[in-house]
Chain A
Amino acid sequence: MRKTFMLILCLCLAVSQLLAQSRALKGKITDDKGNAIPHASVLVKGTNIGTTSGTDGTFTLSVPSSAKVLVISSLNFTAQEISIGSKTQFSVTLVSTTQNLEEVVVVGYGTQKKAEATSALTKVAGEKVEQVPLTSVDQILQGKVAGLQSATFSGQPGANQQIRIRGIGSYTLSSQPLYVLDGVQINSGDLSRETTTTNVLAQLNPDDIESVNVLKDAAATAIYGSRGSNGVIIITTKQGKAGKTQFKLVAEAGNNTHGPLPSAGVPLGATDWLNLYKESYVNAGGSAANAAASAAVYGDGTVNTNWTDLVTRSGQQQQFNVSAQGGDEKTTFFISGGYFKQQANVIGSDLSRYSSTINLTHHATKKLSFSLGLRPTYTNENAPLSNGSAFSNPVMEIYFLRPTMAAFNADGTLNTTRSSAQFGSLYNPLYIVAHDIHKADIFSINGKAEAKYNILNNLTFTSTAGLQYQDYEEYYYNNTVMGDGYAANGRGYAYYTRYFLWDLTNQFDYRVSLTRNKDLNFNATAGYEAIQSKGYFVSAQSQNFPTPALVYAATASTPTIGSNSASDYNFAAIFSRAAFNYKGKYILQGSFRRDGSSRFSTAHEYGNFPAISAAWNISKENFFAPLKFISDAKIRASYGITGNAELGNYQWIQTFGFGANYNSSPGGVFNGIGNTNLQWESSKQTDIGLDLTFFKGKLNVIIDYYKRNIDQLIFNFPLSQTTGFSTITANVGAMQNKGFEFTVNATPFQSKNFKWDIGFNVSLNKNSVTALPPGQTVVANGQFNMKVGHDFYEFYMRQWAGVDPATGNPLWYVDSSMSTTTSSYNSAQRVYTGKSASPKVFGGFNNTFTYRQFSLGFDFYYNFGNYVQDTWATYLNDEVNPTYGKYSSALNRWTTPGQITNTPKLVYGSTNFSASASTRFLFKGDFIRLRNIQIGWAADKALAQKLHIASLSFYTRGTNLWTKIYDTTIPFDPEQNINSQSNLNFFINKSVTVGVVVGF
């Protein structure tokens, strides 16, 4: 190689000497990573003498001796001028425009220079998204964005993720943010109908993501109008970059296990279970002999089944991604294919994803360009009922089954005895998982076609047509032998669901300097958008199957459901944004959207959503010059109005619905109360922020304070049920979220070989209900009765006062004064406990150390100040339901007078409500979790070249490997869903994987 090079060099020199009059220049053009840039333009400045580089980036050009300067330019790179001097050999490195010092941020319907941005938004770069081996991008956001709460509460791969940006945004409507995928306002969340949980975002390969931008304040979200109230998450996929075709291969494999159950929540073993059973039987007044006889029915302790071990497993995880990107200044492309498989730590639960992406851009002329993006994806999810008390939920059976029951018969076959001394109404989860089917096959295409035309230098027209096609084929089969299908001799459900959404946008972008000296600039964006989503549903159900071997409904004798229906919604809007920018110091921006939706009556179908914001780049002021250590300082302020229209389609119409059939004849009923006065919920948000950069970018600090007043909150306003309706959906009530967000990103240390990066963010949010429906002082909301001045998720329940040491009876406080106790549950009042299900503080903390080729990164997620309720306590404590399994905490039960304990005397079939909802079953939700740790090694350039590749790295990473739980009495993982109520969910996966990434 070297020899060849020397030879060429010599030749070049020789040639140059031969042609003294017109010199021949040679060179190679590369990007900052050393990749050749083909088709770059090489021009002698001031002339039309020029050439373009070859595919290997090299060029040869004869220039007159008068030539002084070369101008080298290429698409997506900043043009460079090089003085020729006496040199004939050039090595030119072009700087990519995307890495310009002027960092660009993604905003609604466009991008802005970071310095000109006036809103609170957080970008999570694609590299960060790739780093975590989780199924969906919304899981990955946890701990990475201040103000964004993300609850990973189920270990089911592909589970829907609950995201809250700046607190709970609604009472009845969705509080989930709006997802915009490559400019398309997609249908997100769980669109399945039969599967316990699915997630649209789980169809997206995180490796295809260029960036995720979280828009938080009204300045950023108001341009999304009636759908922006809960924040907007803009996901942008990778686009090709001109230059040599770059391939990337990722292979990763590992396994998923579950962490140890908290000691208080470990189910009792057989001996303990039998002893406590007998003890409670005697406590109920039974004789010891009867107690022994009754217990003996369930076993003698020789069978001691650890259901946890049987139901959990080490699940495999695999991932293979391959992508290629490249192109020239005319056409660029990014294509990728990915395979992802995750088996959960619970039997029967897995997800496979086959994803692909094609993103093409072509510049037809200097003015016209168009692009096409398509992402067909197929996802297969097997999801046993994975939460709640469904008897076929394997995790539920871990706790509910007695340890004295055998999973297997003596001959090794699965035990399916349904007698009440055996499984009774419960199921053998091993049998269910082996013989039931519960799957979703999801085929989806996301895509976008865009044409952009530069009408003038500073005026662009862009027309975009985006689509989202979601196709769910779900099949649910209950076997004939044991479980939900037994009574019906097998049951099969086939559900087909299709959502087709299109999003059409036409917009103009205009930019102009209003003064000659270009001090005052103006830019504006205005456009029109129309969105239509059509949902189509076919459902079939049949029962009575002839043979367990055949599971499809065609073999069953009795069809029980055969229906199809559809549901649509439309949005149409005009939107605009305009900004004045004076010397880059003062920026004033306004945005406005007029939004129309089919979800409201004609009188209220349109709403207006304005926002105004300003930024002051104070560091550009002269008086700031002495403060050299501050590189950038910006003060932001914004105010705006956004909406939430995520209520049911057609809900405003007073309807007479069908399907209330009787005696095989059609029946219809007046079941839609309707409300023609219904409007969107309106959120008025104020945000004040400060962006600071110190030491030339080594330390970044972002501070935000926000206040979000949500008015016209949509409530299911309680009616007198004598009307025949329980509630009417109406705009009443109000809520407020206010809080602080604080983000620090820093590089405390950097030398030639070693680099240390730190990221830390903290979010504090305070929610309070500020108004309730007229005439209502309290609105019942399960365990969270709402009251003005109280947190939306403040637990409202009886207060536990411990166990009476004299009698072993449970005690509760009579009222909020906590002065007197009672052993009568019904005599104790439910009170506002001051304990909320929402955390007071949460955030992330991450570190990355890089030493030469090695790197070590770890991300912590922390959550403090909330309480978590054990909603299934009544079944698993105190022998209220003596035939179910028990938590180990039962061993602390009261046995002797004078004993101080928190577990009351065990009474068989107890009726004293000791295990019913009270603060006894509220646990502190505080935890710190090592969400991700990654150790990597990357080949240096020399080695890579030796291997004829561009890059090579190996890594091993682990998710959820370590968790610090503060409440030692909590029987389950404190990370539960947003309302902090345990629901026997699948355990969170503890994954360890190793991977390799090769670029060439």
Chain B
Amino acid sequence: MKSKINRCLIVVMAFLLATSCNKSFLTDNPYTAVALPQAILSESDMLVALNGAYALLRNTDLFGRTLPVKGDVMGDNAYVTTANSGRYITLNQYNFNNTDAYAAAIWANAYVGIKYANTIINNTTVPSSVNVAQYKGEALAIRALLHFELVRNFGTAYTIDPTKPGVPIVTTYDQNALPARSTIKDVYTQVNTDLTLAYSNMTLYRGSGYFSKYAARALQARVYQNQADWANAQTAALDVITNSGWALLSGTAYVNPTGSLGASPAATTYNPGGYWAAANAQTTTKNETLFEVISDPVVNNGFDQIGMIYLQLGGGYGDILGTQSLYSLYRPTDVRIGLCPNAGTGYRSGQLGTPTYLCYKYSNAATLGFNYQTKVVRLADIILIAAEAYYNASDYVNANKYLNMVAQKRDLSFAGWADTGPQVLEDILIERRKELAFEGSRFWDLVRLQRSWTKIINPAAAVSTVSVAPGNIALVFPVPLTELQANPNMVQNPGY
């Protein structure tokens, strides 16, 4: 009996020791990730990686919300109401310090996106093909877009001094890199190099949610515009206008409101209709938008979607309202006024007595979904860049021609602009402001042209404003303190 048990025990023990000592016992592989070297081995792998890079653009602090919000809140189109959820206060007040959360998040996320793009661009495993060229081209355009946003957010305007520090240019992954800031000029050069290569690489149109040949070219027109390189801006813009196949929509096809705002957000039945009510990005058509960032019904930022910051009803924060100066620009016959309707003076607490101008460019907000897109490059913008390029060549005829190409599509009864001289530029700026309101463009127009303006912090109580003029420290974001602490080669912007 005893010896039997003894023997049994020895067998059991030996078994346990033998099985458990197995070397592979300590080797665990993750279930939801692969080791990096195994990540992109085929064309389809590369497409998956490319989707990941696009998804990053949707980040709340990139095109998902902060970038477009900044361009209006820091300009003269919008302000943060008094009763708010605490978001975008620093932007609204022109009051940053070096730990500003929005600056830090834009910085960090943009470089994350560049890293994602680089894993595609620098991939040498997948054999070249039409698709691979397209995917790499799209990744190049993404890298260019992010470098461009970085350099204009964290550096002074190119038009002021392109030799000033821009941002580090990152084209390869190196976890130990401690790069210094390249000059603004060098960053723009890199952006243009990437966009030129993207343009020549790409041959496919995969829908407006993806970069295409002409979306890259259009982005380049904007880059040249920011550089005030008007000859190149004109060439690029005309290339898009003439060759891309994109077209503007006209009148009610663009905006066609139904329902009413009601006396309070809860009573709202309003829907802007038309192009702006479309829930999905276009897949084969080529209307209006060359490139937009998609939020689908499943994968989106939820309450942190940009629409929620404007939406008054439902779970929207409704923190940001339009300014009177923007609203008053629209003629009653301009369909675009339907994207910025006036809800009256009793619509939002904390703003009583001041008219409430809403934003309906994130239209699915009206139907309580999160699946709507952030427009990044629109044809109207490119046409207006062409107009501005002609203006700078003192060709007022063509300037007005392109200017009216947009204006008369939106206001069918508008007789058209016909000024000459410096007034043409003012006309273009008004049209840009009206056309691109709430798309994050206005601030950059004011900055690159070195304008001074009165930014309304809040029109209620005592009207509080800030006078913005070139040289205002807040026009340039602070380099995040965390970056300065981690990277001894980094220098801060003046004033922080």
Contact = CB atoms under 8 A, between A and B. Distances in A.
A528 B17 contact: yes
A670 B349 contact: no
B247 interface: no
B39 interface: yes
Nearest to A830: B99
Interface string A271-285: 000000000010011
Interface string A412-437: 00000111110011000000000000
A461 B12 CA distance: 12
Contact of A461 (B9, B54, B458, B480): B9
B299 interface: yes
B316 A721 contact: no
A499 to B, nearest CB: 14
Contact of B13 (A463, A530, A565, A567): A463
Contact of A666 (B31, B48, B167): B48
Given A667-B54, A909-B461, A487 B368 contact: yes
B30 interface: yes
B415 interface: no
Interface string B296-315: 11110001000010010111
Contact of A667 (B29, B33, B52): B52
Contacts of A882: 82-83, 350
B28 A568 contact: yes
A297 interface: yes
Interface residues of B, number: 106
Nearest to B89: A911
B39 A670 contact: yes
A276 to B, nearest CB: 15
A540 to B, nearest CB: 12
A721 B298 contact: no
Contacts of A671: 33
A892 interface: no
Given A724-B115, A883-B349, A572 B25 contact: yes
Given A655-B34, A723-B115, A908-B82, A662 B51 contact: yes
A501 to B, nearest CB: 14
B152 interface: no
Given A486-B315, A775-B488, A561 B298 contact: yes
Contacts of B461: 281, 284-286, 290, 294, 908-909
Interface in B457-473: 457-458, 460-462, 464
Contacts of A558: 297
A662 B295 CA distance: 8
B243 interface: no
Contact of A668 (B39, B93, B368): B39
Interface bracket on A: 35 or more
Contact of A567 (B9, B31, B52): B31
A419 B30 contact: no
B6 interface: yes
Best-surrounded residue of B13, B207, B485 (most CB of chain A within 10 A): B485
Contact of B349 (A424, A484, A559, A718): A424
Given A665-B51, A721-B486, A724-B173, A658 B20 contact: no
A656 B34 contact: yes
B97 A728 contact: no
Interface string A805-837: 000000000000000000000100000000000
A598 B26 contact: yes
B51 A881 contact: no
Interface in B105-159: 107-108, 111-112, 114-116, 118-119
Interface string B322-352: 0000000000000000000000000011101
A298 to B, nearest CB: 7
Given A662-B299, A670-B116, A487 B315 contact: yes
A504 B177 contact: no
A911 B95 contact: yes
Contacts of A660: 51-52, 55-56
Contact of A285 (B178, B313, B462): B462
Contacts of A725: 112, 115, 175
Contacts of B39: 656, 668, 670
B297 A572 contact: no
B395 to A, nearest CB: 40
Contact of B36 (A368, A417, A424, A656): A656
B209 interface: yes
A498 to B, nearest CB: 14
B108 A453 contact: no
A488 interface: yes
A899 to B, nearest CB: 23
Interface of A: 281, 284-286, 290, 293-294, 297-298, 365, 367-368, 417-421, 424-425, 451, 453, 455, 461, 463, 484, 486-489, 504, 506, 528, 530, 532, 558-561, 565-570, 572, 596-598, 602, 605, 649-650, 653-674, 718-726, 728, 775-776, 778, 780, 826, 875, 881-883, 908-909, 911
23 contacts: A285-B461, A293-B353, A297-B352, A420-B83, A453-B5, A463-B13, A602-B27, A650-B33, A655-B35, A656-B36, A660-B55, A662-B296, A664-B296, A718-B482, A718-B486, A719-B175, A721-B108, A721-B480, A721-B482, A723-B173, A724-B115, A775-B488, A881-B84
Interface of B: 1-2, 5-6, 9, 12-13, 16-17, 20-21, 25-36, 38-40, 45, 47-56, 58, 82-86, 93, 95, 97, 107-108, 111-112, 114-116, 118-119, 167-168, 170, 173-179, 207, 209, 264-266, 281, 294, 296-299, 303, 308, 311, 313-318, 348-350, 352-353, 368, 457-458, 460-462, 464, 480-483, 485-488, 490
Name the 8 nearest CB pairs between A and B, nearest first.
Answer: A724-B115, A285-B462, A487-B315, A667-B51, A656-B39, A420-B349, A669-B52, A667-B52
